Amino acid sequence: MKVGYLAENYLYKRNIINIVKDVEYQKVNNLFALTYPGVKYINKIAKKTVIPFNDSIYQFTDLNLNKVDILHFFNTISYGKTPWITTFETILPRLDCTLSCHQGARPDFSVLTHYKAVKKALAAMASDSCKRLIAMSDCNANMQRILLKDFPQYQQAIEPKITTLHPPQQLLVSSYADKNINLDGKIKFILVGASFFRKGGMEVVETFSKLKREYNYDLELILISSLRLDDYATKETEADIQKAKILIQQNLDWIKYYEQLPNKEVLELTKQCHVGLLPTYADTYGFSVLEFQAAGCPVITTNIRALPEVNDNDRGWIIEVPTNYLGEAIYTTKEERLEISSAIKSGLERVVHEIFANREVVIAKSNRSIQGIKNNHSLSHYAHKMKEIYLQAL
């Protein structure tokens, strides 16, 4: 069996490429890619988005020139006749007009019924060529089903194709004891992610600084982030980045800061830490949570999107922030963002106090995190399910 894929980025490597044994994976050519330079040039000359790049990058056609048995994409729609499936992280189709419909206090997909591009993509998803739509979480499978309610002409054909399959994760340790770290000295926390502000990094640094001043807790914070300007959920500015840099520099006696590290080194560092951090405003899934848990680090997360499916107060800690009925945090106004920030800070304080009041809680949650990875993210189980999907598609 020959499976075609589009890219060799992290998402494809994590979820698609070389997952199933006895399958030949082949990178395929996409004729839509021929439009990318033109789209970028037009937008650059116009100094604004004249042609949305997302409307090209997540679409595929090849006039059936790629000789593969099945195509497996990430977030992408095919308009050809070769059998295809797509793993997706929010909703499909992934177009400029669909990317924010799940946001706000009262999200509404009905506005999409006016877009021809949406209907064209849904027709492709309803076609016989589309074999399966693999949601990474129940959260986004639910989003997809809700979107389809506004498109009854496609709903009956598409809905049976939707299935949930959580990403796989290899264990890094088999138990807390394997980490070979004790609880008598520093408690080490770790946060990883280029989008520092969106992932709650500023709240972490400010809260931990306060706790160090007021309680002199013996903690260490490892930050791995380029402090990238994201401007998505948190709407940070260059001034915010400078403020974060100054705060980090002022606390290098207990903060270890890395702008970037190879993934292998990150995983090794994770095994030396006690607790992972992802108190995020917005994440479609949160792969770092799986990596932390696989390294025996129970994780402090918010309650957004897929996070309650991979974390809870039994194997980690959940911070409740305001969400809409789809599980997305409500962050569209400055006041809403301040409310989220306040909830994250108070939640972090609560958890850190709990840990230092009873350090043994880390061991129990660590072992339950590892068990959760074994039960729900087994690579062999994922590969078995994916092979079934491929065989059924053919």
**In this predicted structure, what is the pLDDT of residue 224?**
97
Using CB atoms within 10 A of its CB, is residue 11 exposed (0-12), middle (13-18) or buried (19+)?
Answer: middle
Mean pLDDT within 322-328: 97
User: For residues 103 and 95, what is the distance between their CA atoms, to the nearest angstrom?
Assistant: 15
Same domain? For 183 and 90 the reply is no
Same domain? For 240 and 288 the reply is yes
**In this predicted structure, what is the pLDDT of residue 73?**
98
Q: Is the pLDDT of residue 337 over 90?
A: yes
* Side-chain half-sphere CA neighbours of 222 within 13 A: 21
The per-residue pLDDT for range 152-186, each reduced to its tens digit, is 999 999 999 999 999 999 999 999 999 999 999 99
Element (H, E) at 232: none
Same domain? For 309 and 265 the reply is yes
Same domain? For 188 and 81 the reply is no
Residue 289 gets the label, from left (phi > 0), alpha (psi -120 to 50) or beta, of: alpha
Same domain? For 69 and 79 the reply is yes
* Nearest residue to 85 (alpha-carbon basis) of 127, 23, 57: 127
The per-residue pLDDT for range 49-106, each reduced to its tens digit, is 877 777 889 999 998 889 999 999 999 999 999 999 999 999 999 999 998 999 999 9
* Confidence bin at 141 (pLDDT 50/70/90): very high
**In this predicted structure, what is the pLDDT of residue 234?**
86
**Percentage above 70 pLDDT, the chain:** 100
CATH, residue 187: 3.40.50.2000
User: For residues 198 and 193, what is the distance between their CA atoms, to the nearest angstrom?
Assistant: 9
Residue 242 CB neighbour total at 10 angstroms: 11
**Percentage above 90 pLDDT, the chain:** 89
* Confidence bin at 229 (pLDDT 50/70/90): confident
The per-residue pLDDT for range 293-312, each reduced to its tens digit, is 999 999 999 999 999 999 99
> Residue 159 is which amino acid?
E
User: For residues 74 and 96, what is the distance between their CA atoms, to the nearest angstrom?
Assistant: 16
Q: Is the pLDDT of residue 276 over 90?
A: yes
Same domain? For 66 and 186 the reply is no
* Confidence bin at 44 (pLDDT 50/70/90): confident
The whole domain housing 15 covers: 2-168+378-393
Same domain? For 253 and 356 the reply is yes
**In this predicted structure, what is the pLDDT of residue 98?**
94
